């Protein structure tokens, strides 16, 4: 958990100094309530959809700061960016700068234009805040007390949890040379600015950068494929399940939906190890499923580590053979962690019908049932590696 002491929200004249403000990773669309020390009704201020947990005494004019975890109806009215007309929150800019006058200068430029500002005073704090808050843009000073600004920029670009579409602007004070600019651009900065800043020019650039980021993110979110594995994502697999189910219904063919999940033999100790573990597992399982799947199968990634197959013309016996085939393919597959190789075990849940025309549910519901069977199997934690939805239904009925 990272601590900061300032947050600027749109409509405020100055950044609100919060004595101890801790940021969690929980995402909410909330509102910040400022309760005057003299009593009376609190002032509601819209904030970015991150849970802000406040400990200790807040701003001197307030007696407490709380969160209302209700979706706000507030819409930004002062943003000049067209893409923000449909946003329900102000864009968040993370500023990494230990020079108070430089930070205040940036706050005075961004705040009146409708941006929410989050301050970091060291490079390590900036890296952690960027990971936990997922800002819409990052502004990094070239010189920070603990890390070089270029190193911070490079670390963010190399971190898979930091979006590649997030713009990074590097700022510098005093004389700069061509080598410094090139180092910033090579590290992944989108722009390099020298103090004193032209406020209108900076806002114009940020508007353009965030508009491009929003459009790329929108296209990615609407995509039907998973970026890491190249398989269908949840939306794509659900659509294919409906299409395959409709064809099986018309032809009276069998249909099976099988959900797979790993059972790693090692547990991560840190969040960095967890992210690395999840990426390795996704790449290993995704690659094997692409290579071993039939051309007629629809294969997708349902979450960080869960996968599923919609298999046409496949009854329950065929679903079991499919599970066995993938378990055989997974033999020898491993993940590297703390200098050692660890095997990956696979568990599976499935739902299948011999004639789709006689099925009481549609194909997308069968997919959900397969996932439910997998989760039920995992919750028991025994040695079983496959379970059908019918086994759950028989136990609960």
By mean pLDDT, which of 12-16, 262-266, 305-309, 390-394 is the weakest? 12-16
**Residue 142 near residue 150, CB atoms below 8 Å:** yes
Residue spans of the domains in the chain: they are 2-221, 234-396
Cα distances from 288 to residues 129, 229, 292, 319, 359, in angstroms, run: 35, 10, 6, 17, 30
**DSSP conformational letter for 228:** T
Statement: 2-221 belongs to CATH 3.40.50.300: no
Between 381 and 388, the higher pLDDT residue = 388
Q: How many Å is the Cα radius of gyration of the chain? A: 25
- Point out the least confidently predicted range of 16-25, 116-125, 335-344: 16-25
Nearest CA-CA partner of 231 in 307, 166, 295: 307
pLDDT tens figures, 204-250: 999 999 999 988 888 877 788 887 788 899 889 999 999 999 999 99
Do residues 66 and 110 lie in contact, with contact meaning Cβ atoms separated by under 8 Å? no
CA atoms of 138 and 360, how far apart (whole Å): 51
* CATH number listed for the domain at residues 234-396: 3.30.70.270
Query: Comparing 271 with 129, which gets the higher pLDDT?
Result: 129
Question: 60-89: per-residue pLDDT in tens?
Answer: 333 223 333 222 332 333 333 433 334 557
Phi, psi at 168, each rounded to 5°: -120, 125
Q: Which of the residue ranges 126-140, 277-291, 363-377 would you say has the lowest mean pLDDT? A: 277-291
3-state secondary structure of 44: strand
């Amino acid at each position: 958990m990272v601590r900061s002491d300032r947050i600027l929200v749109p409509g405020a004249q100055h950044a609100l100094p919060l004595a101890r403000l801790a940021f969690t990773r929980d995402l909410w669309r909330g509102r910040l309530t400022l309760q005057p020390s003299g009593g009376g009704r609190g002032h509601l201020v819209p904030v970015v959809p991150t849970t802000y947990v406040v400990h200790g005494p807040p701003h001197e004019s307030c007696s407490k700061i709380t969160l209302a975890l209700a979706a706000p109806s507030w819409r930004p009215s002062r943003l000049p960016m067209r893409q923000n007309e449909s946003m329900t929150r102000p864009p968040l800019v993370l500023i990494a700068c230990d020079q108070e006058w430089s930070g205040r200068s940036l706050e005075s430029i961004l705040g009146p234009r409708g941006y929410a500002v989050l301050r970091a005073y060291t490079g390590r704090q900036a890296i952690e805040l960027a990971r936990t808050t997922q800002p819409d843009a990052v502004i990094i000073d070239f010189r920070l007390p603990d890390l070089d600004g270029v190193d911070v920029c490079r670390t963010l670009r190399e971190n898979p949890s930091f979006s590649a579409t997030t713009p990074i602007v590097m700022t510098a004070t005093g004389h700069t040379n061509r080598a410094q600019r090139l180092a910033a651009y090579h590290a992944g900065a989108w722009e390099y600015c020298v103090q004193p800043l032209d406020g209108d020019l900076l806002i114009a650039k940020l508007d353009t950068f965030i508009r491009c980021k929003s459009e790329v993110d929108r296209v990615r979110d609407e995509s039907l494929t998973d970026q890491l594995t190249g398989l269908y994502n949840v939306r794509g697999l659900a659509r294919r399940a409906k299409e395959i189910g409709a064809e099986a219904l018309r032809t009276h063919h069998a249909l099976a939906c099988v959900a797979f999940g790993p059972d790693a033999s090692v547990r991560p100790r840190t969040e960095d190890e967890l992210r690395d573990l999840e990426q390795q597992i996704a790449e290993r399982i995704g690659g094997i499923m692409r290579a071993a799947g039939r051309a007629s199968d629809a294969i997708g990634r349902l979450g960080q580590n869960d996968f599923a197959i919609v298999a046409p013309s496949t009854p329950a016996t065929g679903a079991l053979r499919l599970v066995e085939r993938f378990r055989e393919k997974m033999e020898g597959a491993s993940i590297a962690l703390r200098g050692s190789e660890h095997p990956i075990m696979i568990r599976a849940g499935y739902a299948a019908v011999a004639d789709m025309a006689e099925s009481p549910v549609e194909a997308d519901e069968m997919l959900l049932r397969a996932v439910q069977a997998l989760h039920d199997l995992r919750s028991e934690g025994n040695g079983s590696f496959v379970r059908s939805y019918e086994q759950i239904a028989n136990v609960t009925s």
